[in-house]
Amino acid sequence: MRAFGYKRHGSIEQLQELDLPEPTLSRRSVIVDVDSVGLNPLDYRIRRGELGPLAFASSARLSCSDFSGVVVAVGQGVDQIRIGDAVYGMTFQPLGGTSAEKIRVHASVVAPKPKNLSHSHAAVVPLAALTAYQAFAYLAKLQTGQRVLINGASGGVGTFAVQIARAMGAEVTAVTSYRNTGWMASLGAESVVDYTEQDCCCLDARFDVFFDCYGNRRFTDARNVLSKNGMYITTIPAPRTFSWGVLNGFRKQKSRVVVVRKSKTDLIEITRLIESGAVRPIVQMVYPSHGYRDAYAALESKRVRGKLAVKMSRDIGPEPA
């Protein structure tokens, strides 16, 4: 079975095509014929060995967390998924990635694919959309009418964050560069800050939530534009960012780190938002399976608008979204 991944931590050059045995079925699992996988910065952080215990070495590691495809086998104890179902979801990458023609996944991590999305567009959704949704729903407990600033609004998590916050009734300010300011309103942003012209931590406005998707602003800086009971949320799990929350119990302004978790219930809610038209994935490019290195080179440039996908099912030319 064809796959791509790596056997040693390091740069893009460590990525290689792999020939792996097909997965075998186990209880409460399904086998998915993978059509497409979505790429996330988490992939290269793990590959580089940046995440400590999450980056333990293995003989061969698959590179992605997100997938979309069709169920081809169903294990014992699975009663809500059928062979032929179009599904999508995410895995815990350190224990089993998704960048292969077939994968075995626990039935609890898959949800029906949104009917209005192709597999390539569905594959980019789970990790990024779940990160944004869980940050707003569970950490911020976002309410209608609250004001949200999203730093890094043109990236993978950011594009979903703008739309999900708007769908929850928030007033959204998007922070991005001049290259992307023109299309933020189409996602639901009511105002846009070009960070090359203005520091978002020096605005006159006050925000209930400062969502740092890019991970380049400190809590101490964000406090300048937070409301009295405002919350700063970062997507970067690191000792430094966790340390900012140590004193949360002694101050009104809070600092939190969102650590995405697999949740079929949350993914079904995201599917509802997508099928209703409230949320749509922004996909810059769909690469063929042999273009996986090119895809990661683009991702690691940090200039991607939205998301990138890699098609596993057949070799095609690159597909601009």
Distance CA 63, CA 281 (A): 21
At 108-125, the pLDDT tens digits run 999 999 999 999 999 999
Distance CA 294, CA 309 (A): 11
Distance CA 297, CA 276 (A): 34
- pLDDT for residue 206 is more than 80: yes
DSSP bridge partners of 226: 207
Specify the pTM: 0.95
Question: How would you class 85 by CB atoms within 10 Å of its CB: exposed for 0-12, middle for 13-18, buried for 19 or more?
Answer: middle
Distance CA 285, CA 278 (A): 22
Please identify which residue in the block is written with the tokens 């942003």.
189
* Edge-to-edge order in the sheet of strand 61-62: 16-19, 2-6, 61-62
At 251-288, the pLDDT tens digits run 999 999 999 999 999 999 999 999 999 999 999 999 99
H helices, E strands: number in the chain: 8, 17
Please state which of the ranges 68-82, 142-156, 175-189, 303-317 shows the lowest mean pLDDT.
Answer: 303-317
Contacts (Cβ under 8 Å, ≥6 apart) of 98: 34, 37, 62, 64, 65, 66, 67, 90, 91, 105
The 3-state DSSP class for residue 248 equals helix
Q: What is the mean pLDDT of the chain?
A: 94
- Strands (E) located in 214-279: 226-234, 254-257
Quote the DSSP letter at residue 99: -
Helix/strand/coil percentages in the chain, nearest 5: 30, 30, 40
Position 53 scores a pLDDT of 64
